[in-house]
Structure 1
Amino acid sequence: MQDLTRRVTAEFFGTFWLTFGGCGAAVLAATFPQVGIGLLGVSLAFGLTVLTMAYAVGHISGGHFNPAVTLGLWAGGRCANIHVIPYIVAQVIGAIVAAAVLYAIASGKAGWMPAGFAANGFGDLSPGKYSLLSCIICEFVMTFMFIYIIMGTTSRGAAVGFAGIPIGLALTLIHLVSIPVTNTSVNPARSTGPALFAGGAYITQLWMFWVVPIVGAMTAGAFAKWLHDEG
């Protein structure tokens, strides 16, 4: 029980940092006058959150910080049954708490309006106004590749101790490509926290950012298990 508590706590803090750091960069710094970090900066921020927490707590819980990662690794035989639900619950709570803290900070600026609050969306809520089908394809492919990279860099024969670097860079690349399409989810917990504060249609569209990343992740997990012969 103590081991599970430590694992769940690590997942909470890891997901908190991912959501707060990544979405915080988008909400607080992306369009700041004269020194806004833009798409590149936000993409790098998300990658850095995973990279830093992979080394901070990855040795405790495996460093999932994402329900899609947990289910993808479960499908790939890398996550025990007993860990799946507790991890996902901790991840969602961590993302919601992070969004609440970010909202408390951002709302302290006079005249600030939450708008999309770094939430994800398709159609009219897509940053580039991409269709639902385009967004589904994008989220599926991006999540599939993310899980495949995680499985590959942590498989037998891979360089030991360096997995956090390619995983963090992969998430950076994913954001560079897909922010204009869906504002990049590939993580149902990260999508849930900001959506609850953006409200309205963002909550209505949240289903897609649970279903598609999970399907993409589990497909990748099963494929990587076969490819790396981890039966």
Structure 2
Amino acid sequence: MEGKDEDVRVGANRYRERQAIGTAAQAEEDGKDYKEPPSAPLFEAGELSSWSFYRACIAEFVATFLFLYITVLTVMGVAKSSSKCNTVGVQGIAWAFGGMIFALVYCTAGISGGHINPAVTFGLFLARKLSLTRAVFYIMFQCLGAICGALVVKGFQPHQFERLGGAANSVSRTYSKGGGLGAEIVGTFVLVYTVFSATDAKRNARDSHVPILAPLPIGFAVFLVHLATIPVTGTGINPARSLGAALVYNKDQAWDDHWIFWVGPFIGAALAALYHQIVIRAIPFKSK
């Protein structure tokens, strides 16, 4: 037995993703022209016995692995040249990050939701788009994928990796730690807010006359944030990306400011979730 019937038989679709990135709005219900995805329970122990859950975790691992592999190589390619005219430059780095997010979200949206970022997972968890069980496992697999991606780059080019800093994030000497933290908060806010907007069931239904592919604005948001914050922090906005590069490089300069690349993105993601849920959608105050 192949395809969907096989998935149903083995229980692969028993626990479906709550609001996978890139999915279309659902049919009209209760007089609305859209349907709100149901809130995820805090704990959903049954997920742990479902193949679709582990399939989603593997998809997050592979996507984050590929993300680190391509982007770390791009950063190193720019860093090793004495003349930036011979490389893709800062704009090329920004395109590499944004382009990879676009491609990987497109590929994994229907399987895991295409988070590829603990901050995105955290923001969607706060908005009750996925369970705590799924959020914890996603973050674990994202971090493992990032570490493996950086390890493969180091394995291919060990001397270059060490000499060029392994694309590890750090706050520029011309900026304060507070400035770096602020850049990470605002940058992650832009990203997570875009994720919420691009996957909003109400927006997708009522703006259906405007053809939009959810991964496109998300990738473009990553691109623009990198253009703005590469000079400040090298642009984290993704704790898994920062952890993978720092852990494999493993020098003091990679760890001195590392807390910024966790605290900043998580604060930014939380603010984006609150803004979208409470201000934009006013979901907590919706009348029955």
TM norm. shorter chain > 0.5: yes
The match for 1:168 among 219, 231, 246 is 219
State whether structure 2 residue 106 is matched by structure 1 residue 55.
yes
Map of 1:192 onto structure 2: 243
CA–CA separation in structure 2 for the residues paired with 1:96 and 1:230 = 37
Map of 2:55 onto structure 1: 6
- Structure with more relative contact order (C-alpha pairs < 8 Å, separation 6 or more): 1
Q: Which consecutive segments of 4 or more residues in structure 1 shift more than 6 A?
A: none
User: For the Cα contact (< 8 Å) 2:184–2:260, is it kept in 1?
Assistant: no
Secondary structure, in 3 states, of the residue corresponding to 1:121? coil
> Which of the pair has more CA radius of gyration?
2
State whether structure 2 residue 191 is matched by structure 1 residue 146.
yes
Structure 1 position 77, deviation (Å): 2.3
CA–CA separation in structure 1 for the residues paired with 2:194 and 2:269 = 11
Greater Cα shift, 191-200 or 1-10: 191-200
CA–CA separation in structure 1 for the residues paired with 2:236 and 2:52 = 29
The match for 1:75 among 121, 126, 141 is 126
Map of 1:23 onto structure 2: 72
Structure 1 position 206, deviation (Å): 1.4
Greater Cα shift, 54-63 or 100-109: 100-109
Kindly tell me the number of residue pairs found equivalent between the two proteins: 225
Structure 1 position 30, deviation (Å): 5.3
Structure 1 position 230, deviation (Å): 4.1
What one-letter code is carried by the residue in structure 1 that aligns with 2:72?
A: C
Query: Which is richer in helix?
Result: 1
Question: CA distance change for structure 1 residues 65 and 18 in 2, over 3 Å: closer, same or farther?
Answer: same
User: For the Cα contact (< 8 Å) 1:77–1:225, is it kept in 2?
Assistant: no
Structure 1 position 108, deviation (Å): 6.2
Map of 2:182 onto structure 1: 137
TM-score (norm 2): 0.73
Structure 1 position 107, deviation (Å): 2.2
Secondary structure, in 3 states, of the residue corresponding to 2:166? coil
Map of 1:95 onto structure 2: 146
State whether structure 2 residue 262 is matched by structure 1 residue 213.
no
User: For the Cα contact (< 8 Å) 1:30–1:37, is it kept in 2?
Assistant: no
Q: Deviations over 1:77-96 (max 9, x none)?
A: 22222211100000000000
User: For the Cα contact (< 8 Å) 1:24–1:102, is it kept in 2?
Assistant: yes
What one-letter code is carried by the residue in structure 1 that aligns with 2:110?
A: H
Task: Provide the aligned C-alpha RMSD in A.
Answer: 1.8
What one-letter code is carried by the residue in structure 2 that aligns with 1:228?
A: R
User: For the Cα contact (< 8 Å) 1:30–1:39, is it kept in 2?
Assistant: no
State whether structure 2 residue 86 is matched by structure 1 residue 35.
yes
User: Percent identity over the alignment?
Assistant: 33
Q: Which runs of 5+ in 1 are unaligned?
A: none
Q: Which runs of 5+ in 2 are unaligned?
A: 1-49
Q: Deviations over 1:105-136 (max 9, x none)?
A: 22266xx74342111112xxx2x531101101
Secondary structure, in 3 states, of the residue corresponding to 1:90? helix
